[in-house]
Amino acid sequence: MFSGKLRSALIIGGQGIRARKLRTFLSMVSLFLGVLAIVAVQAGSALAERAMLTDVELQQGKDGTFQLYVSGEGKATSVVENTLKGAEDAVGVVGMNAVIGEPGVRPINEGAMPFEYAGRGGDYGGPSMFCDQNGICTEQKKPEKKPDGQAIEVMVQALTGDVRQFKPFRPVSGSWLDFGSAPSLAPKIVLNEEAAKGLNQYKVPGEMMITGATHHVSPQIIGVVSDGSSQPSVYMRLDEVRNWLPSSDNVQVDRFRGGPGLQVMLAPGTQDMQQLLTARLVGAGMRAEEIRFNEIQSKKRMEKELLIMRLIFLGMAALVLLIGVAGILNVGLATVGERVEEFALRRAVGMSRMLLAGIVLAETLLTGLLTAALAIGTGVVGLKVGLMMFGSRFPSLADVVFPWEAGVAGVIAGLAAGVLGGLIPAIRAARIPIATVMRA
């Protein structure tokens, strides 16, 4: 596997390390922090990238997903629902407002605001304007001010299918929606953490009024998920919501609150579905220029920020590594000075200068590799301990493993330090004259 000279250099270098354990230990101590810093920076940047992407994926969707936003009025909702029926690589999401609790009262968190801001007063603002797709704006009549009561407002996300393939919601408790069964008149709902917080904090009746629905709904809460949103939301099957809407071809909107919208999420490679959906929406009255499928590229947008952050911390880690290199260099020069007679004798019996330099360089390289192995092991153990202690506070890092790129960076850092710290002592050893053995 190795040439004879390289194998000899490694064997003799290993013997030198074993014979000088204390100096090897001191070299490793001076180098350890530098290599560990490189490993920590690389691992930290990988974990930070994962955490940032996970949070973005929860709210926007996975990279590569195609999105379409259209108005939920008219026949657009029914067109999307019928087109995506039975599709496993596309999901439609219709957003609506709903109030859970006493009917006909003002919700505690009016506007589906986060509950930390609820109950701080405030009132309806000035005139509300609604602008249609042609740019024609009209003033909307203020809704009637209602008396305060025991009710909370939530955003309803009505789904045509399982959205978790695009947004990897983390389960908190209970189960998720079952899209394989027949729609129920008592719709099942899944809460996000903010909505669950509101229901735990405020004791409200189990009655829900969806904007545009003809009657109050008695939902069945089956689970709680973490969706990365601070706004209280519930997830339902669109076909179950349909049972309570006045028309199968129209989902009414609350324009005063900005109105819900219709979002379509499609997997990569669904160009045929996109063309079919575009044709049907145009046939339903939408303008073709309004129908735009945008690809999610969150990682590409964050690459520059992550690169800058990584370079800054790598620069600081490199300074620490250079201190370790200086330590290896000092130990190496001192070792060569003590072994002048040994090296001169080796030269006298026919050892080449190249092999002599290789012996010294092999010692520093092996020291660097041993230090890298120790630093990587420390990083693995440290990550496990950190996750055990603080993992519950950061759900995005659940089931995380030590990133392999951090281990590779540690090995490269150890080898680079070994070369930089051993090159000058190797050159000095190779230049020792044979005549030195005569003086000994």
Using the CB atoms, write b or e for 200-223: b if 16+ within 10 Å. eebebeeebbbbbbeeebebebeb
For 48, list phi and psi in degrees, rounded to 5: -65, -40
Q: How far apart are CA 273 and CA 278, in angstroms?
A: 8
Instruction: Please tell me the predicted confidence (pLDDT) of residue 398.
Output: 63
- What stretches of 303-410 adopt beta strand conformation (E)? none
| Structure-token pair, residue 150 | 């025991």
Q: How far apart are CA 11 and CA 103, in angstroms?
A: 84
| Other Cβ atoms closer than 10 A to 8 | 16
Alpha helices of 202-297 — where are they, by DSSP H? 238-242, 271-283
Instruction: Please tell me the predicted confidence (pLDDT) of residue 251.
Output: 46
Q: How far apart are CA 438 and CA 20, in angstroms?
A: 25
Half-sphere exposure of 273 (CA within 13 A, CB side): 24
- What's the DSSP call for residue 169? P
| Structure-token pair, residue 261 | 């919208």
| Structure-token pair, residue 295 | 């690809």
* Chain centroid offset of residue 263 CA: 23
- What stretches of 278-422 adopt beta strand conformation (E)? 294-295
Contact indicator for 149, 106 with CB cutoff of 8 Å:
yes
What torsion do the CA atoms of 358, 362, 365, 369 make, to the nearest 10 degrees? 150
Q: Which of 277, 115, 305 is nearest to 196 (CA)?
A: 115
For 297, list phi and psi in degrees, rounded to 5: -135, 60
Q: How far apart are CA 61 and CA 53, in angstroms?
A: 9
For 379, list phi and psi in degrees, rounded to 5: -65, -40
What is the pairing mode between strands 90-101 and 208-210? antiparallel
Q: Coil, strand, or helix at residue 139?
A: strand
∠ Cα 267 286 255 (to 5°): 95
Q: How far apart are CA 322 and CA 334, in angstroms?
A: 18
Going from the C-alpha of 338 to that of each of 259, 425, 428, the distances in angstroms are 82, 12, 12
Contacts by residues 242-247 (CB-CB < 8 Å, ≥ 24 positions apart) = 242/183, 243/183, 243/185, 243/187, 244/187, 244/210, 244/213, 244/214, 244/215, 244/217, 245/210, 245/212, 245/213, 245/214, 246/212, 246/213, 246/214
The pTM assigned to this predicted structure is 0.67
Using the CB atoms, write b or e for 152-174: b if 16+ within 10 Å. bbbbbbbbbbebbbbbebeebee
What is the pairing mode between strands 90-101 and 188-192? unpaired
| pLDDT, tens digit only, all 440 positions of the chain | 456 656 666 666 666 666 666 767 777 777 888 888 888 888 877 777 777 777 778 888 888 899 998 876 667 888 888 888 888 899 999 888 899 988 888 888 888 888 888 766 544 444 555 555 555 565 555 556 677 778 899 999 999 999 999 998 888 899 999 988 888 888 899 999 999 998 888 888 888 888 877 778 888 899 999 888 889 999 999 888 888 776 544 444 443 344 447 889 999 988 898 999 889 888 888 888 888 898 888 877 777 777 787 788 778 778 878 877 887 787 777 777 777 777 777 777 777 778 777 777 888 888 888 888 888 888 888 888 877 776 666 666 666 777 888 888 888 888 888 888 888 888 887 787 776 655 54
Helix and strand tally (H, E) in the chain?
Answer: 11, 12
| Other Cβ atoms closer than 10 A to 363 | 30
Instruction: Please tell me the predicted confidence (pLDDT) of residue 192.
Output: 93
